[in-house]
C-alpha cells in the first residue's frame, strides 16, 4: 500500500491537501443505524402503506392494502414484514384477517432520529 513506492515523502497534514484531519463526527455505527431507518422508508410501496394505515386511524386488513396498491399480495406481505420487523407497524390477527396499524411511537422515534441528523448537518 505504501511500501513499494520509492518516495517515502513526508506526511504533513494528515488530510494531505486542504486542511484539518477529518474527525468522524458521525461514527459509522450511528450512520449505519440511521441509514437503515431511512432505507425502510425509502420505498414507495412502504410509504404508501404507512400513508394508508395512518389515514385510516384504525386497522386495515391486507386485502384492502392489496386493493389500493399496484403490487400483488405476496409483495404486500413482504413489505409489511419489513415494516413490522422495523417496528413501524403492528399486526393483530382477528378471524382470518390480519389487521395492521402504525406504531406512532416507533414512527416518531424515527422522525426524531432523522430530525436530529438534519439539525447536526444543516
Q: In the window 9-68, what residues touch a second copy (CB under 8 A)?
A: 14-26, 28, 31-32, 34-36, 38-39, 41-48, 50-52, 54-56, 58-61, 63-65, 67-68
77 sits near DNA (criterion: CB under 7 A): yes
Separation CA 22–CA 96 (nearest Å):
56
In the complex with a second copy, the residue whose CB is nearer, 3 or 119, is 119
Instruction: Give phi and psi for 46, each to the nearest 5.
Output: -70, -35
- Kindly state the smallest distance separating residue 30's Cβ from DNA, in Å: 16
Q: Cα 102 from chain centroid?
A: 15
Residue 87: other Cβ atoms inside 10 A = 14
For position 109 contacting a second copy by CB under 8 A, the verdict is no
Cα Dmax for the chain: 75
Q: Is the dihedral of CA 85, 89, 90, 94 positive or negative?
A: negative
The residue ranges that bind a second copy (CB under 8 A) are 14-26, 28, 31-32, 34-36, 38-39, 41-48, 50-52, 54-56, 58-61, 63-65, 67-68, 70, 97, 99, 102, 104, 107-108, 111, 114-115, 117-118, 120-122
Amino acid at each position: 500500500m505504501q511500501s513499494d513506492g520509492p518516495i517515502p515523502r513526508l506526511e504533513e497534514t494528515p488530510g494531505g491537501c486542504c486542511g484539518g484531519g477529518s474527525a468522524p463526527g458521525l461514527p459509522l455505527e450511528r450512520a449505519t443505524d440511521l441509514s437503515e431507518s431511512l432505507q425502510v422508508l425509502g420505498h414507495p410501496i412502504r410509504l404508501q402503506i404507512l400513508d394508508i394505515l395512518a389515514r385510516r386511524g384504525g386497522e386495515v386488513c391486507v386485502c384492502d392494502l392489496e386493493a389500493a396498491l399496484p403490487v400483488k399480495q405476496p409483495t404486500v406481505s413482504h413489505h409489511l414484514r419489513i415494516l413490522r420487523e422495523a417496528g413501524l407497524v403492528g399486526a393483530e390477527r382477528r378471524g382470518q384477517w390480519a389487521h395492521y396499524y402504525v406504531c406512532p411511537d416507533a414512527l416518531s422515534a424515527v422522525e426524531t432520529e432523522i430530525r436530529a441528523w438534519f439539525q447536526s448537518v444543516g
